[in-house]
Chain A
Amino acid sequence: MSLASELLQYVLSGLTMGGIYALVALGFVIIHNVTGIINFAQGEFVMLGAMFMVTLIGVGAPTPLAIILSVILVMIVVGIIEFGAIRSAKKASPVTLVIITIGLSTAIRGIALLVWGTNPYKLAPFTKGGPYHIGGATIVPQSLWVIGTTAVLLALTLFMFEYTYWGKALRACMVNKFAARLMGISPSRMSLFAFVFSAALGALAGMVIAPITYVTYDMGLMLGLKGFVAAVLGGLSSTPGAVIGGLALGVIESLGAGLLSSGYKDGISFIILLLVLFLKPGGIFGTSGTKRV
Chain B
Amino acid sequence: MVRFKKMSAILVIVLIMGLLVAGCGGTKTETDKTTAETKEPYKIGAIFDISGKGSSLGIPERDTVNMIIDEVNKAGGINGHQIELVMLDNESDETKSALAARKLIEQGVLAIIGSSQSGTTLSTLEAIQKAEIPLVSAAASIKIVQPIADRKWVFKTAHSDALVTEKIITYLKSKAITKVAFASMNNAYGDSGLKEFTAAAAKGGVTIVAKEKFAPEDTDMTPQLTNINRAKPEAVICWAIPPSASSFTANYRTLDLKMPLIHSHGIGNKKFIELAGDAANGVIFPVGKLLVAEGLADTDPQKAVLVDYAKKFEAKYGARNTFGGHAWDALKVVLAALEKAGPDKVKIRDEIEKTQNFTGISGVFNMSPTDHNGLALDSMVIVEIDKGKWVLAK
Is B230 a contact partner of A1 (Cβ separation < 8 A)? yes
Chain B positions within 8 Å of A1 at CB level: 226, 229-230
Is A120 a contact partner of B243 (Cβ separation < 8 A)? yes
Minimal Cβ-Cβ distance residue in A for B242: A120
Interface string of B241-273 (1 = CB under 8 A from A): 011001100000011100000000000000100
Is A119 a contact partner of B271 (Cβ separation < 8 A)? yes
Query: Max chain B CB contacts within 10 Å: which of A17, A214, A219?
Result: A214
Tell me whether A117 and B256 are in contact in the complex, defined as CB-CB below 8 angstroms, given that A9-B222, A214-B247, A216-B243 are known contacts: no
Minimal Cβ-Cβ distance residue in B for A12: B222
Could you say which of B130-138, B139-147, B208-216 contacts chain A?
B208-216
Tell me whether A9 and B226 are in contact in the complex, defined as CB-CB below 8 angstroms, given that A131-B254, A214-B219, A263-B213 are known contacts: yes
Could you say which of A78-86, A179-187, A193-201, A254-262 contacts chain B?
A254-262
Chain A positions within 8 Å of B226 at CB level: 1, 6, 9-10, 258
Compute how far the CA of A219 lies from the CA of B247 in the bound complex, rounded to whole angstroms: 14
Whether A4 sits at the interface, judged by CB under 8 Å, is: no
Whether A55 sits at the interface, judged by CB under 8 Å, is: no
**A246: min CB distance to chain B, Å:** 14
Interface string of A212-224 (1 = CB under 8 A from B): 1110101101100
Minimal Cβ-Cβ distance residue in B for A120: B243
Is A9 a contact partner of B223 (Cβ separation < 8 A)? yes
**B209: min CB distance to chain A, Å:** 15
Question: Inter-chain contact count A-B, CB under 8 Å?
Answer: 79
Minimal Cβ-Cβ distance residue in A for B51: A113
Whether A191 sits at the interface, judged by CB under 8 Å, is: no
Interface string of B27-59 (1 = CB under 8 A from A): 000000000000000000000000101011001
A1-45 at interface with B (beta carbon < 8 Å): 1, 6, 9-10, 12-13, 16-17
Q: Is the interface on chain B under 10, 10 to 19, 20 to 34, or 35 or more residues? A: 20 to 34
Whether B307 sits at the interface, judged by CB under 8 Å, is: no
Tell me whether A118 and B55 are in contact in the complex, defined as CB-CB below 8 angstroms, given that A17-B219, A258-B226 are known contacts: yes
Minimal Cβ-Cβ distance residue in A for B217: A222
Whether A162 sits at the interface, judged by CB under 8 Å, is: no
Is B223 a contact partner of A113 (Cβ separation < 8 A)? no
B192-245 at interface with A (beta carbon < 8 Å): 212-215, 217, 219-220, 222-224, 226-227, 229-230, 242-243
Whether B277 sits at the interface, judged by CB under 8 Å, is: yes
Compute how far the CA of A138 lies from the CA of B257 in the bound complex, rounded to whole angstroms: 12
Chain A positions within 8 Å of B222 at CB level: 9-10, 12-13, 138, 254
Is B51 a contact partner of A262 (Cβ separation < 8 A)? no
Chain A positions within 8 Å of B55 at CB level: 113, 118
Chain B positions within 8 Å of A212 at CB level: 219-220
Minimal Cβ-Cβ distance residue in B for A130: B254
Chain A positions within 8 Å of B220 at CB level: 13, 16-17, 212, 254
Whether B296 sits at the interface, judged by CB under 8 Å, is: no
Compute how far the CA of A212 lies from the CA of B251 in the bound complex, rounded to whole angstroms: 10
Query: Given B223, B254, B275, which contacts A120 in the complex, CB threshold below 8 Å?
Result: B275
Is B274 a contact partner of A118 (Cβ separation < 8 A)? no
**B10: min CB distance to chain A, Å:** 16
Chain A positions within 8 Å of B275 at CB level: 120, 122, 214
Chain B positions within 8 Å of A117 at CB level: 59
Is B243 a contact partner of A214 (Cβ separation < 8 A)? yes
Whether B281 sits at the interface, judged by CB under 8 Å, is: no
- Size of interface on A: residues with Cβ below 8 Å to B: 34
Minimal Cβ-Cβ distance residue in A for B191: A263
Whether B355 sits at the interface, judged by CB under 8 Å, is: no
Compute how far the CA of A219 lies from the CA of B217 in the bound complex, rounded to whole angstroms: 8
Chain B positions within 8 Å of A263 at CB level: 186, 213
B317-375 at interface with A (beta carbon < 8 Å): none
**B249: min CB distance to chain A, Å:** 12
Interface string of A125-168 (1 = CB under 8 A from B): 00000010000001010000000000000000000000000000
Chain A positions within 8 Å of B277 at CB level: 122
Minimal Cβ-Cβ distance residue in A for B186: A263
Is A262 a contact partner of B214 (Cβ separation < 8 A)? yes
Whether A110 sits at the interface, judged by CB under 8 Å, is: yes
Tell me whether A138 and B224 are in contact in the complex, defined as CB-CB below 8 angstroms, given that A113-B51, A118-B59 are known contacts: no
20 more CB-based (< 8 A) A-B contacts, given A6-B226, A131-B254, A212-B220 = A10-B223, A16-B220, A118-B55, A118-B56, A119-B271, A120-B242, A120-B246, A131-B256, A138-B255, A138-B256, A214-B219, A214-B243, A219-B217, A221-B217, A254-B220, A255-B223, A257-B214, A258-B226, A262-B213, A262-B224
14 contacts between A and B (CB under 8 A): A1-B229, A1-B230, A6-B230, A13-B220, A13-B222, A17-B219, A120-B242, A120-B271, A122-B277, A218-B53, A222-B217, A254-B223, A258-B223, A262-B214
Per CB-CB distance, the 4 closest pairs between chain A and chain B, nearest first, are A258-B223, A213-B219, A120-B243, A222-B217
B interface residues with partner A (beta carbon < 8 Å): 51, 53, 55-56, 59, 186, 212-215, 217, 219-220, 222-224, 226-227, 229-230, 242-243, 246-247, 254-256, 271, 274-275, 277
